């Protein structure tokens, strides 16, 4: 990795990258350039680039570093994603997320045209139009996405690789409510929940990424963790802002590390099903978090409920708050 990064930086000097992205600067001294900071709003230039050291420093916002650091800050990407976005050999990743973005936007447009999809959302207790828009919730009717994306110039092969269509050329997501899953600014996957019964949910191939909407809660000292996106949506709608979702009771490494990255209390709010699998998963997770110094509390919903059904059947903010307060260590 280190060698790759050095090679990358030699190939793309910081100044060249900035100019390519329309940064206007004037030279000051032999090795320095100054211009307006691309990372914060200012009217007097305080962003300096030293071409000999190949680094930047802004006296306005105090940010500084090398090319990778700049890409991280300006595009909200992780170190690894920044390296990938700069490396032409890994660059196809970039058009992957562009296609997923177009697919998600297409699905979003379909939602309002499909009464059966809106009905389903209402039955699951999700009705706030602002929240639906914020989360990018859409509907995949099936049978129309491939035509749309190929007309936009995306090759069949790419759609197949992304899992948006199957080998026979049919749309992979069919009669499903969809939620785009983002990491940083980029869509990395799409979750689809069937509005019928068979095969309740699925993802596109590839990882589910980190915790859902983690950026919104990463600085919260108390976080409510749920296992499903419909649980997430109703809690947000009820007024809880400190919610995140692991998309299943098994957390991947990225998700687990995110929960551990600061001091906080995590309220594990998994389904309470008859076979106790949600509660067993919560117990194990609480233990693992405890080992990493994170305090975890298990929220006990009434038997047979998940947060979604709790709200759908009339539960409200105060009742849920009471459950959080009664949560077990």
Binding site for Zn ion (CB under 5 A): 37, 39-40, 58, 60-61
Give the tokens for residue 202: 């699925």
Which residue number, 61 or 114, has a Cβ lying nearer to Zn ion?
61
Which residue number, 66 or 87, has a Cβ lying nearer to Zn ion?
66
Please report how close the Cβ of residue 32 comes to Zn ion at its closest, in angstroms: 16
Please report how close the Cβ of residue 20 comes to Zn ion at its closest, in angstroms: 19
Which residue number, 62 or 304, has a Cβ lying nearer to Zn ion?
62
Please report how close the Cβ of residue 171 comes to Zn ion at its closest, in angstroms: 45
User: Closest Cα partner for 25 from 53, 65, 58?
Assistant: 58
Q: Where are the beta strands (DSSP E) in 29-167?
A: 32-35, 47-50, 55-58, 64-65, 138-140
Please report how close the Cβ of residue 39 comes to Zn ion at its closest, in angstroms: 5
The C-alpha atoms of residue 145 and residue 156 are separated, in whole angstroms, by 11
Which residue number, 39 or 118, has a Cβ lying nearer to Zn ion?
39
Sheet holding 243-245, edge to edge: 243-245, 222-226, 265-269, 295-298
Please report how close the Cβ of residue 60 comes to Zn ion at its closest, in angstroms: 4
DSSP string, 186-226: EEEEEEEEESSSSS-EEE-SS---SSTTHHHHTT-SEEEEE
Note the Cα 147 to chain centre separation in Å: 27
CA distances from 80 to 117, 162, 175, 272 (A): 37, 21, 35, 37
Please report how close the Cβ of residue 78 comes to Zn ion at its closest, in angstroms: 21
User: Closest Cα partner for 74 from 47, 46, 39, 48?
Assistant: 39
Which residue number, 61 or 118, has a Cβ lying nearer to Zn ion?
61
Which residue number, 45 or 192, has a Cβ lying nearer to Zn ion?
45
The C-alpha atoms of residue 247 and residue 200 are separated, in whole angstroms, by 13
Please report how close the Cβ of residue 77 comes to Zn ion at its closest, in angstroms: 18
Which residue number, 39 or 312, has a Cβ lying nearer to Zn ion?
39
End-to-end CA distance of the chain: 41
Sheet holding 201-203, edge to edge: 138-140, 176-183, 186-194, 201-203
């Amino acid at each position: 990795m280190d060698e790759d990064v050095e090679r990358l930086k030699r190939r793309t000097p910081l100044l060249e990258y900035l100019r390519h992205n329309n940064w206007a600067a004037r030279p000051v001294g032999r090795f320095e350039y100054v211009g307006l900071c691309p990372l914060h709003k200012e009217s007097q230039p305080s962003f300096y680039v030293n071409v000999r050291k190949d680094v930047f420093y802004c006296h306005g916002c105090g940010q500084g570093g090398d090319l990778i650091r700049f890409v991280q800050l300006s595009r909200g990407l992780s170190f690894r994603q920044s390296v990938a976005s700069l490396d032409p050999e890994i660059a196809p990743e970039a058009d992957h997320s562009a296609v997923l973005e177009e697919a998600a936007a297409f699905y979003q447009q379909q939602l309002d045209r499909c009464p059966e999809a809106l009905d389903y959302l209402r039955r699951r207790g999700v009705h706030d139009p602002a929240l639906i828009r914020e989360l990018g919730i859409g509907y995949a009717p099936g049978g129309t996405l491939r035509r749309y994306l190929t007309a936009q110039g995306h090759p069949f092969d790419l759609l197949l690789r992304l899992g948006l269509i199957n080998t026979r050329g049919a749309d992979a997501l069919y009669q499903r409510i969809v939620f785009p899953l983002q990491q940083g600014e980029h869509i990395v996957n799409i979750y689809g929940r069937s509005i019928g019964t068979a095969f309740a949910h699925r993802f596109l191939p590839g990882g589910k990424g980190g915790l859902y909407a983690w950026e919104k809660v990463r600085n919260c000292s108390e976080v409510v963790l749920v296992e499903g996106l419909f649980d997430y949506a109703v809690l947000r709608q009820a007024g809880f802002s400190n919610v995140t979702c692991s998309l299943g009771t098994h957390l991947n490494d990225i998700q687990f590390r995110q929960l551990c990255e600061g001091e906080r209390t995590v309220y594990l709010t998994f389904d309470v099903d008859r076979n106790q699998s949600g509660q067993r998963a919560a117990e194990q997770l609480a233990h693992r978090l405890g080992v990493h110094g994170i305090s975890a509390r298990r929220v006990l919903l009434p038997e047979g409920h998940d947060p979604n059904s709790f709200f759908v059947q009339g539960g409200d903010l105060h009742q849920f708050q009471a459950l959080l307060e009664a949560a077990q260590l």
